Amino acid sequence: MRNIVVKSSLSLTVQQRKKIEDAFYKKYGDEELFFRYLEDKNLLGGVVIEDGERIYDASVASALYDFKRKGEEYINQILSDKKSLPGNWKEELLDSLDGKAGSVEYGRVTESADGIITVEGLTECRYFELLEIDKGSYAIAMNLLTDCVKAMLISDGSNIEYGDIVKGTGKIVEVPVGDALLGRVVNPLGKPLDGNSVLHCEKRRPIESPAPGIIERSKVSRPLMTGILAIDSMVPIGRGQRELIIGDRQTGKTSIAVDAIINQRKSGVICIYVAIGQRAGTIAKIIERLKNADAMKNTVIVASTADDNAALQYIAPYTGCAIGEEFMSQGKDVLIVYDDLSKHANAYRTISLLLKRPSGREAYPGDVFYIHSRLLERSAQLADNLGGGSMTALPLIETQAGDISQYIPTNVISITDGQIYLESELFHSGVRPAVNVGLSVSRVGGSAQYPAIRKLASKLRLDLAHYRELAVFSQFGGDMDESTGKILESGRKITEILKQAEGAPMSVDKQIIYLYLINGHIDNVPIARIKEYMEGFYQYFVNSDYSDLKTLRKQGVLTDEIRKVLDADVINYDIYFFKEKKDDAER
C-alpha cells in the first residue's frame, strides 16, 4: 500500500479531493493507495502532496519563497490570471495553482555527523547534485549507493535531525558570475564576504563543467608577463598555460602569484585569487596588498578560510574556475591562482574518509589525481571562432623538505605545463625569488615570449645553472683557473641582478634592457654596484630615447636600430658611471 499525504491550509472540498485522487490512481494504476488529508496553516494556501517518492508543491508559502529568491517576475507568472486578490483568495488560489505544482524527488535524513548526511530515497539523484534540506541547509551528493545517498554539507547543519526531508534540485551548485564580481571578495558559494553591497549578477554558472576539447583550443603563443625577470626570462608563461609554483613552506610561492596579479593592472587580464584553507589574517593581508597596488579593480577573491568545513575548501577552486570561465567565454584573458592545491587535496581526503571511501597511497582516495586534472584542464587558450579568450592557471603546491617526488606534487607536475621550483636554501641565503633554474621548466617555452626576451635570455638559463654547479664545488676550496673565476664572477652578478623585491614588477622594456646588459656589458661593473648600474642605465635610456622605449614596450622586439642606440648609450653611460666612481674614490 502506498501512503499519500495531502497537506492544505484549508479543508479541501469533495471535488478537489476527487481531482487529486484521480490523478494518482492514473499514475500508479492498480496499486493500492491510502490518502491522508492534513491541514497546515503555514502553507498559506494551495497544497503540498507527498507520495513516498516525490513532493508536489503548489503552496503559497513555496511561491512566496520563490518570489523572494527569484524575484517579482516569477510570482507574477504564477498568479498571471489574478489581477487582484479577492477576500477569499486562499480558496481561489488552489484552483489558480492547479497543474502548476512543482514536482521534486525527496528522501529523509537517517544519519548526520561530521558534515556528512545519509539520505534514504532520492533514487534519481545524480553525482554532485545539489540537495536542499527543509531546514534551510544544503548538501552535495557524493556517494550514490543502492539503498541511500551520502552527501557533504556546504552550509550549517547543526540543526539537522533524523527524518528531515531532503529534496533533489536536479542541478549542481551554481555561483554568480560576471563583471559585478570584480573587486569583490566572495566565499565558495558566491556570497560576499567584504561587507560591501549585495551582488547583482544577472547570470549564474555551475561550478562543474567539461574542459574545452582539442578542437576548441588554440596554440599558446601570447606571453603572460609576471613582471618577475627570473621567471619571464627563463620560465616563461603563456596565456592559457598551466604553470605550477612548487616549493616548501615560506619560500615565496604566494608572493610570486600575487606579484603576477599586480603586474596585470594595466594589461587587461582579469585575475582570480582562490584561497583554499588559508588563515583569514593571511587572506586579509593579500587583499590589502592588492588594494595598495591598485590591483583589486580587476581581481576577484574567492576565500575559503581554515575555519570553513572541508566541503567549502573542496569546492572553492571549482567556484573560482567557473567565474574565470565566464570571462574566458566572453573573449577575455584570465589569470587564476589556486593557493594551494595541497590543502585542496587534504580537504578531499578528509571528505573521502568520512564517506568511508577506500583509501590508497598516503590515505588519499584513488581519484585524487582526477579531481585536479579535471580542474586544471579547464584552463585553455580558446580558438578564435570561440572568442579567443584564455584562462591561465597558477596552481601552488607545498612540498616537505624539498621533496617533489611526493604523491600530490608528482600528480600535479604531470598535469601542468611546467613548474617553477622555489628552493629553501636560495630563499634563506637572500636570493628572492628563490627560483631553482635546474628544476624549473616551462613546456611552452619561448613560443610564448617576446622576441627580444627570447633571444637575449637564450643562454641565461644554462649560464646560471653552470654557475650554481661550479659554486657548490668552489666551496671546497682549491685553486681555480681564470675561466672558472670569470664564470663564478659573472654568475654572482647575474644572481644579484635577478633579485627582485615584492610588489615591484618589471615592465617589458625594463626586462629587455636588463637582459641586454647581462649579455656582455657588465664585466667591468663591481658586484657591489651592479644594481645601481642597471637601474641607472635604464633611467638614462628612458630619458634619452623615449621613442625607442615605446617600441620595446609595444612590440618587445630588439631591432638593429635600437641595438645600435643601446650600444652607443652603454659607451656614454660607462664614461659617466666609472668617472663618478673614480671621483668618489679620490674624495
Among the options 443, 529, 553, 563, which is catalytic? 443
In the three-class reduction of DSSP (H, G, I as helix; E, B as strand; rest coil), residue 456 is classed as helix
CA end-to-end span of the chain, whole Å? 107
CB 163 within 8 A of CB 108: yes
Peptide bond before residue 212 is cis, with ω within 30 degrees of 0: no
Q: 317 is written with which cell numbers?
A: 577552486
All cell numbers assigned to 78: 504564477
What whole-number distance in Å separates Cα of residue 91 and Cα of residue 82?
13
CA 258 to CA 46: how far, in whole Å?
A: 54
Q: Backbone phi, then psi, for 464, in 5-degree steps?
A: -70, -40
Catalogue the E-assigned strands of 20-162. 33-39, 46-50, 54-59, 102-113, 116-121, 130-133, 138-144, 149-153
What type of residue is 327?
F
Mark whether 443 is an active-site residue: yes
C-alpha span between 56 and 101 (Å, rounded)? 6
Helix (H) or strand (E) holding 300: strand 299-305
Contacts of 141 (CB under 8 A, 6+ apart): 122, 125, 126, 127, 128, 129, 131, 149, 150, 151
Take residue 212 and report the three cell numbers written for it: 574545452
Where do runs of H (alpha helix) occur along 5-82? 14-28, 60-70, 72-78
Cis previous bond, 433, omega within 30: yes
Residue 137 CB coordination number (10 Å) = 21
Distance (Å, whole) CA 321 – CA 327: 10
Joined together, the cell numbers standing for residue 274 give 582562490
* Residue 212: DSSP 8-state: P
Q: How far apart are CA 26 and CA 6, in angstroms?
A: 17
Q: Are strands 46-50 and 2-8 parallel, antiparallel or unpaired?
A: antiparallel
Cis peptide, bond prior to residue 232, ω within 30 of zero: no
- Residues annotated as catalytic are 443
